[in-house]
Structures are given as C-alpha cells and as structure tokens.
Amino acid sequence: MMKVECTRLPSGLTVVTEQMPHLESVALGVWIKSGSRNETLGEHGIAHLLEHMAFKGTARRTARQIAEEIENVGGEVNAATSTETTSYYARVLKDHVPLAVDILADILTESSFDEEELRREKHVILQEIGAADDTPDDVVFDRFAETAYRNQTVGRPILGTPDTVMSFSADQIRHYLGRNYTTDRMFVVAAGAVEHESFVRQVEERFSSLPRTPIATPVLETALYTGGESRETRDLMDAQVLLGFEGKAYHARDFYCSQILANILGGGMSSRLFQEVREHRGLCYSVYAFHWGFSDTGIFGLHAATGGENLPELMPVIVDELRKSSMNIEQQEIERARAQIRAQLLMGQESPAARAGQIARQMMLYGRPIPNEELMERLSGITIERLTDLAGRLFFDTTPTLSAIGPLEQLAPMGDILSSLTGKAAVPHAVAS
C-alpha cells in the first residue's frame, strides 16, 4: 500500500515522499510557491528566465555537465514555470536518487548566472516568444488572461515580452531568487522507489544553504477579475474563440462544483457542448470547457475552434447551452463527471511524476496531502441544485471575457453576446487589432 510521509526540516524546508514499491524509478523535484504572479511590475518574464538560467551552470558544473551527468545514468531533468508556482524535477532509477538530489540542489543554490550564458538564453526565450506569437491557440489564451485580469501580474503572459526579457541583469535574477526561493515556500517531493528517511537525510544535507527568510518582502497583489474583450483579426484558416467568466479560487466552497460543471459542459465527447456543437450541428472541430483555480480567484472558460463562417450560429448555441445548464442538469451527468474525475485522479497516481506533482500542489495549496477518499467526499456532496445555482451565478451575474483571433468578421459584437446572456446591452472594455 502506498503511503505519504512528510517531514519539516529545522530549516523550514518540507520534504514529502510516497513509496511505490512496484517501481524501479523515482520522480523527484522541488516545487516553489512562486511564479510569474510574484514578479514586480518591472520583472515581467523574470521567473521564467530564472528557470532557464538555473540549468546554465553552477559553481561546480557547466551547463553541459548538468545535462550529461543526469543523462549518463539514463535519467532526465526539466523545469516549468506557471502563474503561481515553479518546479524543477528529475526522473531516475532508484540507485541514482542521490545524484538527482545533488544536481537539483546545485542548480537551486549555486547557479552562477554567467553573463554570456544569460545573453544566449535571452535569445532562446525571444525565439520562444516568437513561436508563441505565431501560434493562434497560444495567443488567444494569453489575450484571454490579460483581458480577464486587466493590467495585473496574474493575467500577464509567463514568457514576458522581448523588451523586458532583454533588459534583465544577473543581479535582478538573483534579487528575484532571494525574494522568492526561501525554505518556507519550497517543497521537495519524491514518488516511486524511495525510502523516506534516507531521502530526508540527502535533502537536508544538500539543501542546507537555502535561505530561510527572503531578502525583501515577496510580492503578491490581490487579483481582481475585470472581464472585457480582445479581438485580433488575422488571415487564418479558422477562428479561435474563448468565452469566460469569473470562477472560483482553490479554497472556495464552489471550486469542486465548478470542476464538475466544466466537465458536464465540455469535458469530453459525451459533454453537452461536444454533442450539441460538434456532433449534432458540426459547427466546429474543437470545443471544450475548463475551470482554472488560483489562490484567490478563478476563471471558467469555453474554447471553440471553427471556420469564421460558423461564428454567427456558434455563439448563440454556446450561450443557449450555458442557459440550459442553469435550468436543468441530470443526475446521470453528475455521476459521469465524478467518474471521469476519479479515473483521472487514480490513473495519475500510477505515474510517479504525476503523483509527485499532485502531492506538491496539495502541499502548496492546503499544507497537507489530501487522501483520495477526502477528494471524492468533496465531490459526492455536489447536487443538481448546487450546480444549476452555480451556473446561474457564473454565467449571468458576472461580466464575461471574450478573446478571439482569426477571421472574425462574422463574430457578433460583445454587446450582443452580453445582451443574450443578461437580457440587457452593455459595452465592456475592448481591445481590438
């Protein structure tokens, strides 16, 4: 039986493991409760740049040595930056866990931030930004977040802009690091063929130099959902359209209810939107719903990709499905959504990498691992009445967010869409190009 064990070191660093005895490998990593949202106004993109620079050389290893040492034993190492978290992780065979711990500790405590490496990596990120700008389904989501949280760090693209990325110095990166990468905000997690006490000793030894207190007060401005619209007409084969509403934070009572509602509306081939919009009417080739939760806010969205000529019919059908969800939901739909979420949860636990990430997120959000039984209990309390009430409040009591890119000549004005949702016309903030 798998067992989660947790130890808080005297330094304040939290170490968590889950032993999976049937495996020969271990997925391990360091998760930091800090992401792009923790940047100041002048630091747009620095969290992501730091993640890149961590692999570009330390006091003990060159960038090539970091890559070669982990790959010489058949392992892999990577990192990721999100809005509220950053993670550095590795996957190795069980005999090579000490090496992986050493490398992760090295890049997080001894990175050199060499000026020449920094110059090169800035240009790598510029290419990454350019590739994202050339990908319409990336652009539409970036514009969506920027519009939902106008002029706020929570809505800014994680990559930054060419100007901001090129402006950063090694000292600025070190300042962001010293302000955010402290033991009270960091979690070292391992899942797989790992022995807890041995892993704790390795972590305690190698991560002992991490600072306990930040060099300056960490930044986190309260999020304020604004809504509005962003349209960008481009000569493309199809239109990408996102319609969103203010959602729920992780700790909100209706967070899990929102997850169920998103699944019912657009969580799979049996969902309402897929069946009505794609299968029955053939109005798009892709349609789904999602709910993003953050620490103090959330956003509920619906995405569709279609030919521009289908937009006049598509948007009213989507709005009609939203209205129907506020009036009637079947018990069978709730049971199917619960079953899908349960299956995703359990299937994810068969992967040590997915399991380590899941435990880390729970530690950052709730301060403890959440047993499966508790998660399912939270889902079991969701009723038809709660779902229809939530749908009514989500879709008809908040200002919507519209983001669209492509051939948009036939996309209805925002005022018309808002009128169909609320019964009254309005002109929200707009950005067009």
| pLDDT of 51 | 97
For the residues of 226-265, what is the DSSP string, one character each?
--EEEEEE---SSEEEEEEEE---TTSTTHHHHHHHHHHH
Per-residue pLDDT for 190 more than 60?
A: yes
How far, in Å, CA of 155 to CA of 134, rounded? 20
pLDDT in tens, 392-418: 999 988 889 999 999 999 999 988 888
At residue 175's C-alpha, the angle toward residues 106 and 205, to 5°, is 25
Catalytic residues: 51
| pLDDT of 428 | 42
| 172: confidence class by pLDDT, cuts 50, 70, 90 | very high
| pLDDT of 305 | 96
| pLDDT of 2 | 64
Of the candidates 65, 63, 91, 59, the one whose C-alpha atom is nearest the C-alpha of residue 76 is 91
pLDDT in tens, 2-49: 689 999 999 999 999 999 989 999 999 999 999 999 999 899 999 999
Radius of gyration over every alpha carbon of the chain, rounded to an integer in angstroms: 23
Contact assessment for residue 196 and residue 5, using Cβ atoms and an 8 Å cutoff = yes
The mean of the pLDDT values for the chain is 94
| 95: confidence class by pLDDT, cuts 50, 70, 90 | very high
pLDDT in tens, 229-251: 999 999 999 999 999 999 999 99
Of the candidates 353, 357, 347, the one whose C-alpha atom is nearest the C-alpha of residue 76 is 353
Tell me the C-alpha to C-alpha distance, in Å, between residue 62 and each of 55, 100, 372.
9, 16, 42
pLDDT in tens, 337-371: 999 999 998 898 899 999 999 999 999 999 999 99
pTM over 0.75? The answer is yes
Domains of the chain: 3-206 (3.30.830.10), 228-432 (3.30.830.10)
Per-residue pLDDT for 433 more than 90?
A: no
